[in-house]
Structure 1
Amino acid sequence: MRHLTPALAAALLTLAAASAARAEEGMWTFDNFPIARANATLGTNIDQAWLDRVRLSSVKFGGCSAGLVSGEGLVMTNNHCVATCVANLSTQAVNYAETGFAPRSREEELKCPGGTAEILTDIADVTERMHAAGAGLEGQAFTRARDAEAGRIEQEACGGDAGRRCQVVSLYRGGQFKLYTYKKYSDVRLAFAPEDRAATFGGDLDNFSFPRFAIDAAFIRLYENDAPAATPTHFVWNADKPVEGSPVFVSGSPGATQRLLTIDQLMTIRDVVLPMDQLLASELRGRLIRFSEESEENAFIAMDPIVGLENTYKRGRGRMAALIDADFMRMKADGEADFRGRYASGSSTSGADPWGELAAVQPIARELYPAMALLEGGTGMGTTPVAGGSQLFLWARTLVRGAQERAKPSAERLPEYADSRLSGVQSGLFAERPVYPGLEQVRMEWWLSKTREWLTVDHPSVRGLLGRESPEQLSARLVEGTTLADPAVRRALWEGGLAAVEASQDPLIRYLLSIQDETRAIRSDWEEKVQAPTDRASEALAAARFQAYGSAVYPDATGTLRLTYGKIEGSDVPGQRWGPFTTFDGLWDRATGAPPFDVAPRLLAARERIDGATVMNMTLSSDTIGGSSGSPVVNAAGEILGANFDSTVLTQRNAYGYDVRVNRSVIVTTGAVTAALRDVYGMERLVQELGVR
């Protein structure tokens, strides 16, 4: 069915019930995947063994997803998912973003600084322990008790095993808690990446749109003990031409959805969070563009950050469009009304009103959000980067807070510094990454000036943040004087603990020490007045949702592994009418020779060697969101057909609800990747490793 009544669409958006007319909805966990429903919808015959193979072949890589494609640790993801690795390995003289990275042998594959990859090996239910930890507590005591219990569970399960990571995951906004155990790879090497021009043809103009003509694919390799990892469970490569209407599955780690939020919570996002984030992102983008125009070196330095900001801004634009769409919001409201009606008719409501409790939190959240977002981050609501994303600042904060927190028992620390999470902190802190002082100063200066502007000059935190210096003076002094770009300095401070940090004369360390009272107070205020009451009311709503709709409800995405499904199909709604495929012939036709529609030189030179009918990109009806980038697209035989790399602007409403009319995921096909490897970049050794027929 293509068209829905408002009432039924509301049920789809809010409840993700099993009776949904378009059963593609839902980012399902692997321990609650609706096998029978998927098989009935798609005409497939998958089983639990199939699910296990897909899970063990799926990889989490940074903030992206990926898939194992050989028995020797070879993994396919998106080119934009390795962009930071490429930037860290490049110099202005040897810029792999411009030339592509096509090593002739495995020995030439280069380690991604700080790169880690993980495979989910086990899921265990720890709901009872987590709920018991917070029982009878309120405010920050509730939050800290649950954080401490999560740390204990993680430490008990993984201890100091550097080859594993354990994470307590909150599902259904506190309705369930699961312990996810991962096999962790800390040696990740770049095995292939095309030129950016090949992966981002059309640039920002084509981003979040279709038709697309992008080879947004790359390969990394997992290593153990300085040798390629043995990975016998992996996807089988299938480079055959895809067929419209075919059933497909997408396995990845979608970042975050907010479909279970109440209307009152969504109004806070619409009225406060998104407008602030969009304004700030647009100004930071402008400053980085100005910086990039000052020299060729600056253009090289700012390229990757600008692309990331443009992506964030356009995603926010699509989400705002959903929250001001009267029909969409009416469907959300109707769905909430149905849920509240069922809740009120239940026999065990005890007079509680979780909707009212969440409504009461919203004025406080609206007031505290700007300070929390700018000075601390971690709200789970917005995208404004603390310190403008300055790497030097973030390292300094990790060193200062890490030293202060490690002086306490693990259960009393901020959760990110619990014993169970320290190995991950150290991995990021000790990584050898290039640091560009000019870019660092632009980021920090922007952050200081915007914090002063949004919180006002007279805000106590602003006075502590700036003292008597201007944003320009302070950022210049801190960046010019710090030595934290040197990984040996960072390691010495970390290993020296609190005594070494407090004795340090590094200006950035001194600065972070000086602002801890203000920033920690803001975080405590948020946890006490917003996070804790929100978590408690959300937990009550989750219990009510299970009672009202049973187990056929999927949780919001949380950056953890999920499986979605759908079909290969195009779109036929105003603003996006197209078939499901694009080809290399379409690329040649679309190319103008002028940026951003100029074809990458190596790709253009191979035109006569490539079959023009080869499908480059395709669209699916599967349910995806940011973080799904790189997700393997597989068929019922467990064969990989491509990798998710984008969606459309209209699909950005997916954060708040699945809309069957407009949701489309954009995929780079294995056929396009095979053609690129074989006919463009001469990577025959990878083609053979993939077992291409």
Structure 2
Amino acid sequence: MMKQILYATTAAALALASTAARADEGMWTFDNFPAEKMRKDYGWAPDQAWLDNVRGAAVRLTGGCSASFVSSTGLVLTNHHCVVSCLQDLSTGDSDLVANGFNAQGDRARERACPGQQAEVVTAITDVTKDVKAAFAGLSGEALIKARDAQIAKIEQENCTDRDKTRCQVVTLYGGGEYKLYNYRKYSDVRIVWAPEFAAAFFGGDLDNFNFPRYAMDAAFLRAYENGKPVATPAHLKWDARAPKDGEATFVVGNPGSTSRLYTTDQIAFEREVRLPVTLTTMSELRGRLITAMEQSPEKKREGGDTLFGIENSLKVYIGRSKALNDATFLKTLADNEAALKAKSAGKLGDPWGDIAAAMGKYRDNYMAVRFSSPSSDLYSYAKTLVRAAEERTKPNSERLRGFTDSALPLTQKTLLDAKPVYPWLEELTLEWSLSKAREYLGADNSQTQLMLGKESPEGLAKRLVTGTKLADPAFRKQLWEGGAAAIKASDDPMIQYALKLDKMDRDLTKLIDEQVNGPATAAGAKLSDARFAAYGSTQYPDATFTLRISYGKVEGWKENGQMVPTTTKMGGTFTRATGNEPFAVAKAFAANEAKINKNRVYDFVTTNDIIGGNSGSPVIDRNGRVIGTAFDGNIHSLGGNYGYQGEVNRTVAVSTDAIQEALTSIYPAPALVAELAGKGKK
């Protein structure tokens, strides 16, 4: 019955994709919050001071998550699944921080740095549309993309001269209709403070993922440091350890990763017919390979856990998207909406839909080559970054590839050089899997396959590269980074040599796609944006871009099989739902402290807020600007949310501050943390 409901609601959700936002729909930018619309819907809306304070407390984390400052000394609230990679990187066979959790117990000397992690806070948003569009006016294809990217690099370079503390990012909105400069205050030293056991954070496992009711303590705390000291964060959210109230207004503030709600029917067809099928097939095989390998030993089970968690979560998302895009009613609704927009534009803009259709045709021709051009492996990623950086850093800033401009380089360098464990068996597994898929989809006689494999098998090549490289050593990576092009050219490291071998092919594909796909799509996207603005004005929000957004909604359940789903669960439900077997085994600390736990505390709850992947860790805020939870999931109906929103059934799932406070008090005691959240902690 759940599948039937998903199909029925998807069409309705997608009917909104090309029209003005309705109900609680919308991931709004902070410079275009629909205060009038919310006031009409709720009888109240936040003022500018409220919005400014919330914006100053919102945090973006590298790795694709959101968070928020919740104290004056850099304390950051996010999800457990947003820090599980950090816990994995800091774990050993003797100290499994994923399984056992982490608690600094008020001793800041025990708070440990998370490799590769960076926290970023938006300080300004500036419209740079005219400057960017003027740079590529009259151009097409690759020339358009080069001119656009050069202008973006120039804007970012000029507006962030202190790259130790700031970051600038020009963001493309509305498919190329607008360009906004986001200025960030960044903190490159981020440390883990507190996290529960994995069994508590992910109780119910993949079975409960994207479902409700939930009984998950998917919360964690980090802290931002600078010069070895916690940063001062006067703009932070006040902690309110209370249960949510049915019907109360809620806000989710975070960085939704990516949506496709403004796609044309040709872009949707490409997703449905090409990208999603190959993604589901290949990722399912990787999941099977990984599970088989993890069963070989407890150590491999520990080391592969984070990777498996990510794969299974992604698979569920892609399955939901695939179901959504195979709904005939939805496809007709989308086509009707597109026809209506075409009629409103009355041929004034040429034929941007036809231009995108032609571009997608070219993308279909080259997609498999692009998709399989970069083998999957952390070690290969290190090698590719080093090889690319060595060449790109010799060029003027305006001529570099994306990711290697002056504004982007500090994070690229941090990600490359921060120490983190590498598991050779896992590297071999992912590398041989990706190489075997490249051969399978491209064909054994394809020139790209022959370049990538030569006379070797995927298994043999993966083993030779992983066992021969020294790139697992951060000191070696640093040596090559600092040595630049000369060091790369002189290196006999097999993974470096392999990345050098593939570099020209990869660059040629990038050039081809810019010429035939990205260039035409960017020009057409700008025209489509003009058509939407002319038809619907500012009542439409842009697709998500992993930049700061705010959504408003309320605490409310939904109807399932004729029955209303309650808005909340209670902590005692954990013990009722437990079976003693994974994934429904009660976490050790929960079991040990059962008598101390107030089982009537509200655990998880649902709201109508419109969110998507990337919002994980976002604070759920009440009208007083206080945090009452952290969003960690959506319900099953939200899986079609990449393409549209339906207020009757789409729900955000959050863990309440009521439950987190109970955990900090009765299950994983952290009195100093409780005091800090109350504003009484040490400075």
Partner of 2:490: 503
Equivalent of 1:393, from 374, 380, 384? Answer: 380
User: Offset at 1:45?
Assistant: 3.9
Output the CA distance in 2 between the equivalents of 1:451 and 1:235. 48
Asked if 1:623 is matched to 2:615, the reply is no
Deviation readout 1:618-677 (Å, 9 max, x if unpaired): 011110000010010001100001000001232111101112232111000000100011
Partner of 1:96: 97
Ranges in structure 1 where 5+ consecutive residues have no aligned partner: 376-385
Partner of 2:217: 215
Asked if 1:357 is matched to 2:352, the reply is no
Scaled by the length of structure 2, the TM-score of the pair is: 0.96
Conserved 8 A contact 2:196-2:220 = yes
Asked if 1:366 is matched to 2:364, the reply is yes
Q: Please give the residue correspondences for 1:324-363 in structure 2 after superposition, counting only pairs within 5 Å.
A: 324-344=326-346, 349=348, 352-363=350-361
Asked if 1:85 is matched to 2:59, the reply is no
Q: Residue 301 of structure 1 aligns to which amino acid in structure 2?
A: E
Partner of 1:378: none
Deviation readout 1:307-358 (Å, 9 max, x if unpaired): 00000000001111111122333332222222111111x7xx15x0111111
Partner of 2:3: none
Conserved 8 A contact 2:15-2:333 = no
Conserved 8 A contact 1:16-1:554 = no
Distance 1:113 1:261, change over 3 A: same
Output the CA distance in 1 between the equivalents of 2:619 and 2:13. 30
Conserved 8 A contact 1:14-1:336 = no
Q: Residue 353 of structure 1 aligns to which amino acid in structure 2?
A: D
Secondary structure class of the residue paired with 1:636 = coil
Equivalent of 1:15, from 3, 13, 18? Answer: 18
Equivalent of 2:183, from 173, 178, 181? Answer: 181
Q: Residue 17 of structure 1 aligns to which amino acid in structure 2?
A: A
User: Offset at 1:600?
Assistant: 0.3
User: Offset at 1:205?
Assistant: 0.5
Output the CA distance in 2 between the equivalents of 1:44 and 1:665. 21
Secondary structure class of the residue paired with 1:215 = coil
Conserved 8 A contact 2:163-2:407 = no
User: Offset at 1:387?
Assistant: 2.3
Conserved 8 A contact 2:629-2:657 = yes
Output the CA distance in 1 between the equivalents of 2:14 and 2:565. 28
Conserved 8 A contact 2:10-2:330 = no
Equivalent of 2:451, from 460, 464, 471? Answer: 464
Partner of 1:74: 75
Conserved 8 A contact 1:315-1:649 = no
Conserved 8 A contact 2:10-2:640 = no
Partner of 1:54: 54
Distance 1:366 1:7, change over 3 A: closer
User: Offset at 1:8?
Assistant: 11
Output the CA distance in 2 between the equivalents of 1:144 and 1:576. 55
Distance 1:266 1:576, change over 3 A: farther
Q: Residue 92 of structure 2 aligns to which amino acid in structure 1?
A: T
Q: Residue 67 of structure 1 aligns to which amino acid in structure 2?
A: S
Asked if 1:643 is matched to 2:630, the reply is yes
User: Offset at 1:32?
Assistant: 0.5
Output the CA distance in 2 between the equivalents of 1:6 and 1:448. 39
Asked if 1:254 is matched to 2:256, the reply is yes
Output the CA distance in 1 between the equivalents of 2:509 and 2:541. 33
User: Offset at 1:577?
Assistant: 5.2
Conserved 8 A contact 1:7-1:331 = no
Output the CA distance in 1 between the equivalents of 2:563 and 2:363. 36
Output the CA distance in 2 between the equivalents of 1:593 and 1:474. 43
Identity fraction in percent: 47
Output the CA distance in 1 between the equivalents of 2:108 and 2:535. 55
Quick check: 565-574 or 280-289, which moved more?
Answer: 565-574
Scaled by the length of structure 1, the TM-score of the pair is: 0.95
Q: Residue 167 of structure 1 aligns to which amino acid in structure 2?
A: Q
User: Offset at 1:6?
Assistant: 11
Secondary structure class of the residue paired with 1:579 = coil
Output the CA distance in 2 between the equivalents of 1:82 and 1:556. 26
Equivalent of 1:406, from 378, 383, 393? Answer: 393
Distance 1:523 1:239, change over 3 A: same
Output the CA distance in 2 between the equivalents of 1:138 and 1:580. 51
Q: Please give the residue correspondences for 1:74-153 in structure 2 after superposition, counting only pairs within 5 Å.
A: 74-104=75-105, 105-153=107-155
Partner of 1:633: 620
Conserved 8 A contact 2:11-2:330 = no
Output the CA distance in 1 between the equivalents of 2:554 and 2:9. 24
Secondary structure class of the residue paired with 2:538 = coil
Output the CA distance in 2 between the equivalents of 1:620 and 1:464. 51
Q: Residue 91 of structure 1 aligns to which amino acid in structure 2?
A: T
Conserved 8 A contact 1:10-1:333 = no
Asked if 1:205 is matched to 2:207, the reply is yes
Ranges in structure 2 where 5+ consecutive residues have no aligned partner: 1-7
Q: Residue 52 of structure 1 aligns to which amino acid in structure 2?
A: D
Equivalent of 2:648, from 658, 661, 686? Answer: 661
Asked if 1:512 is matched to 2:499, the reply is yes
Output the CA distance in 2 between the equivalents of 1:367 and 1:606. 59
Q: Residue 55 of structure 1 aligns to which amino acid in structure 2?
A: R
Partner of 2:4: none
Conserved 8 A contact 2:78-2:630 = yes
Conserved 8 A contact 2:249-2:622 = yes
Distance 1:224 1:426, change over 3 A: same
Output the CA distance in 2 between the equivalents of 1:460 and 1:99. 49
Partner of 1:608: 595
Superposition CA RMSD, Å: 1.7
Secondary structure class of the residue paired with 1:31 = helix
Conserved 8 A contact 1:148-1:415 = no
User: Offset at 1:524?
Assistant: 1.5
User: Offset at 1:159?
Assistant: 2.3
Q: Please give the residue correspondences for 1:545-560 in structure 2 after superposition, counting only pairs within 5 Å.
A: 545-560=532-547
Output the CA distance in 2 between the equivalents of 1:248 and 1:265. 33
Output the CA distance in 1 between the equivalents of 2:401 and 2:562. 46
Equivalent of 2:297, from 275, 295, 303? Answer: 295
Output the CA distance in 2 between the equivalents of 1:313 and 1:521. 31
Asked if 1:233 is matched to 2:220, the reply is no
User: Offset at 1:499?
Assistant: 0.8
Deviation readout 1:86-136 (Å, 9 max, x if unpaired): 001101110011111011211111011121000000001100111011111
Secondary structure class of the residue paired with 1:515 = helix
Conserved 8 A contact 1:67-1:76 = yes
Conserved 8 A contact 1:464-1:515 = yes
Secondary structure class of the residue paired with 2:403 = helix
Distance 1:463 1:34, change over 3 A: same
Distance 1:87 1:402, change over 3 A: same
Q: Residue 371 of structure 1 aligns to which amino acid in structure 2?
A: A
Output the CA distance in 1 between the equivalents of 2:491 and 2:623. 58
